[in-house]
A and B are shown apart, each in its own frame.
Chain A
Amino acid sequence: MTWLTWRQHRGEAAAILAALVVLGVAVLLLTVDGSGILTTISRGCASGVCEGTAGNPAQWFESGLENDWTLVLVAVIALPAVFGVFVGAPMIARELEHGTHLVAWSQGVTRHRWFVSRVTLVALGSVVGGAILAALAQGWFAMQADLGNTGSLPIWSGFDIAPPVVIAYTLFALALGAAAGAAFRRTVPAMVVTLVAYIAVRVSVVQAIRWRYLAPITVRWPIKGQVNSVTSPGPSAWQLSSGTPFVDAAGHPLKTAYVNRLITQCPAPTASCVNSLSRVYMTYQYQPASRFWLFQGIEAAIFVLLALALLTLAYRLVMRIR
């Protein structure tokens, strides 16, 4: 079965290898290019000017390389989905659609072995590919982090391209494709379903679930106090946009219009005025940079568990085929 799986999938393996090589060369070139510019920037900053002047290399770095970087970022985010659609979905569906699985099953290969060896080998290959992909992206991310506070991307903006989650996404996409293939038994519909479901799950996790892995840290201060004294979470924190920036002493949200009315009715700092304003607090929530790798672990675990559940489903579906 190992030999058969390899023979059936060597074209895919070659295509994926080629894609990784192209992407890898692109990222390496960008990294080398970027380091050169970074050297110029650090020289320029040493002489006193880093920001706000025309012809600044930091701006050059952003305008010239940011576009290329967006392409790489999109590629790293899209590749797991492409993998699930073009490798995961046909892996089972194509065999069932063409009836070629019967050849293996009627030659003393049990369904169990047929399924397990096929899925294990392809999953192994996908994990290796995902790891290489993520390592490449991480190299770039570390390089541009050297820009420091003036121009580098905050750590949380690289969440979707960090190694643990990229590997987990790849496994999940593969399992999703296998399950869709076993359920639909037709290649093209299984591919469409895989793509749609992958995007739906990824987007809903990013939008609705990720920021809740641990309760965010809430900062609150009275609006009549000194704004300067408020501690900022720093540029490396992931600041969450809350619905309203104003709350009362109990933490209940207040309407912005209400607070504005309080302020405008209060031109002079009379006692009653200060009293009413002292019950109003400003607030925001954030996840600190120290939780980055913990969150990576949590998200990776979620997607690996989802992948295992989907593979179990696919296995049961294949065992029940008659």
Chain B
Amino acid sequence: MVWMTWRQHRWEVALGLAVLVAFGGGVLLLTLLGWHLMGQIAGACPSTTPNPAASIAACADSTAEYQNGFQVGWQWVLIVGTAIPALAGVFVGAPLVARELEKGTHLVAWSQSVPRRRWFLARVGLVAGGAAAGAALLAAIGQGWFAMQRGTGDGLGGPSLWAGFEIGPPVVIAYVLFALALGVAMGAAIRRTVPAMAATLVGFVVVTVAVGGFARPHYLAPLTSRQSILGSFSSLVPSGSAPTSGPGFNLSSDWLVNLGIGNYTNAAGHPVSDATVNELLGQCNIPNDGGATTCPAAANGITQLLSYQPASRFWLFQGIEAAIFLVLAGALLALAYRLVMRLR
């Protein structure tokens, strides 16, 4: 069975290796380039004391080069990194059982004294093992890239810690195994290749979006922080929608779960309506000459309640999410196994 599984899947293995080499190699190369550029930036850019003008020019040059080349690259790595598990499920997991059942080729093996149990376990086990190994390698390379991007710090607009949650190694491996198991289960249930592939894609997107959007913020109860509605916002923050810092809160490493709009209270602790806040802020005077903004005194004590997940929970959350998807994968494989054993 090992030999047959290898013969049936060697093209997929070759394709998977090609993706690994092309994508992984590219990312690895970019990571090294990025570290090199950052070394140049650190060497050229003045930290506290004013440097010679020539050095400032070199600093601006390498900074611009870094930002032009790498901030776009970050998006692409994230997109490809999140797409790979889905592709593994659709193109490897779903045909694994469905194609055999659709064409009847499973009967050849079953009628040659290979029991169904062995047929199922050998094929699923080998493919899952290979996919998990590939995913671990890619995730490790992606993590190197992420560490390089994070190393740039806030000055160069590196990504926040939680922005890389979906490419963290534990969850990537769990996603890949879940996608494969989903494909196998869909194949065993539907027994037709193309519908099984489509169902796998839809199922994977629905489950990951639902878990990421609804379940993930609540793995542990978020911490809360009260922020004044005045003065805590900086125009340097992209889209200007989040406070840069405050008591116990750090934008570059914590995950802002809820901005706290509609959660206003005044100095005495009584709730304040959105309309009141909007009206008060509408009375603020913003001078055209760049002077300080003045707002009505009533706005001073009003705070909004932010809820966030701190950076210290990142790896715990990775573990929880990986465990959820591994349990789901196990359940789906058990279902697929039962379905295959019950075929007649």
Q: Mark A residues whose CB is within 8 Å of B.
A: 11, 15, 40, 43-44, 47-49, 51-57, 59-60, 62-64, 66, 71, 82, 86, 90, 94, 187-189, 191-192, 195, 241, 256-257, 260-261, 263-264
Check B194–A90 contact: CB distance below 8 A.
yes
B336 CB, nearest partner CB in chain A, Å: 18
CA of A195 to CA of B91 in the docked complex: distance in angstroms? 11
Check A188–B95 contact: CB distance below 8 A.
yes
Q: Which residue of A lies closest to B79 (CB)?
A: A74
Cβ of B259 under 8 Å from chain A: yes
Known: A54-B304, A187-B193, A192-B15. Contact between A59 and B282, CB under 8 A? no
Check A63–B278 contact: CB distance below 8 A.
no
- Residues of A with C-beta under 8 A to B259: 59-60, 63-64
A and B contact pairs by CB, cutoff 8 A, 14 listed: A43-B278, A44-B278, A48-B282, A52-B235, A53-B281, A55-B304, A63-B239, A94-B194, A188-B99, A188-B193, A189-B11, A241-B68, A261-B54, A264-B53
Cβ of B300 under 8 Å from chain A: no
Check A59–B58 contact: CB distance below 8 A.
no
Q: Mostly helix, strand, loop or mixed at chain B's interface?
A: helix
- Residues of B with C-beta under 8 A to A82: 201
Interface residues of B in 44-68 (CB under 8 A from A): 53-54, 56-58, 60-61, 64, 68
CA of A47 to CA of B53 in the docked complex: distance in angstroms? 46
Cβ of B21 under 8 Å from chain A: no
Check B54–A264 contact: CB distance below 8 A.
yes
Check A257–B197 contact: CB distance below 8 A.
no
- Residues of A with C-beta under 8 A to B239: 59, 62-63, 66
**Which residue of the partner chain, among A86, A192, A263, contacts B194 with CB atoms under 8 Å?**
A86
Check B99–A63 contact: CB distance below 8 A.
no
Cβ of B284 under 8 Å from chain A: yes
- Residues of A with C-beta under 8 A to B284: 48-49, 53
Known: A47-B282, A63-B259. Contact between A188 and B198, CB under 8 A? no
- Residues of B with C-beta under 8 A to A241: 68
CA of A5 to CA of B57 in the docked complex: distance in angstroms? 66
CA of A11 to CA of B195 in the docked complex: distance in angstroms? 9
CA of A15 to CA of B196 in the docked complex: distance in angstroms? 13
- Residues of A with C-beta under 8 A to B247: none
Cβ of B233 under 8 Å from chain A: yes
A112 CB, nearest partner CB in chain B, Å: 25
When A and B form their complex, which 10 residue pairs have the shortest distance between CB atoms, in order from nearest? A260-B57, A47-B282, A264-B53, A63-B241, A54-B229, A59-B241, A90-B194, A53-B281, A54-B233, A55-B229
Check B99–A52 contact: CB distance below 8 A.
no
Size of the B side of the interface (Cβ < 8 Å), in residues, is 50
Known: A55-B304, A63-B259, A192-B15. Contact between A261 and B57, CB under 8 A? yes
- Residues of A with C-beta under 8 A to B286: 49, 52
CA of A264 to CA of B227 in the docked complex: distance in angstroms? 44
Q: Which of B87, B228, B281 has the most CB of A within 10 A?
A: B281
Interface residues of B in 228-284 (CB under 8 A from A): 228-233, 235, 239-243, 259, 261, 264, 274, 277-279, 281-284
Known: A257-B61, A264-B53. Contact between A86 and B230, CB under 8 A? no
CA of A43 to CA of B281 in the docked complex: distance in angstroms? 12
Known: A48-B282, A55-B264, A260-B54. Contact between A86 and B197, CB under 8 A? yes
Q: Which residue of A lies closest to B243 (CB)?
A: A54
Check A192–B230 contact: CB distance below 8 A.
no
B328 CB, nearest partner CB in chain A, Å: 22
Known: A52-B233, A256-B61. Contact between A191 and B278, CB under 8 A? no
13 A-B pairs besides A54-B243, A90-B194 with CB distance below 8 A are A44-B278, A54-B227, A54-B230, A54-B233, A55-B278, A59-B241, A64-B259, A86-B194, A188-B197, A191-B194, A257-B58, A263-B53, A264-B53
CA of A48 to CA of B193 in the docked complex: distance in angstroms? 60
- Residues of B with C-beta under 8 A to A264: 53-54, 57
Cβ of B33 under 8 Å from chain A: no
- Residues of B with C-beta under 8 A to A90: 194
Q: Which residue of A lies closest to B240 (CB)?
A: A59
- Residues of A with C-beta under 8 A to B235: 52
- Residues of A with C-beta under 8 A to B99: 188
Q: Which residue of B lies closest to A82 (CB)?
A: B201
Q: Which residue of B lies closest to A46 (CB)?
A: B282
CA of A198 to CA of B64 in the docked complex: distance in angstroms? 32
Residue interface bits B206-241, CB-to-A below 8 A is 1, else 0: 000100000000000000000111111101000111
CA of A62 to CA of B11 in the docked complex: distance in angstroms? 45
- Residues of B with C-beta under 8 A to A43: 278
Q: Which residue of B lies closest to A151 (CB)?
A: B239
CA of A44 to CA of B193 in the docked complex: distance in angstroms? 55
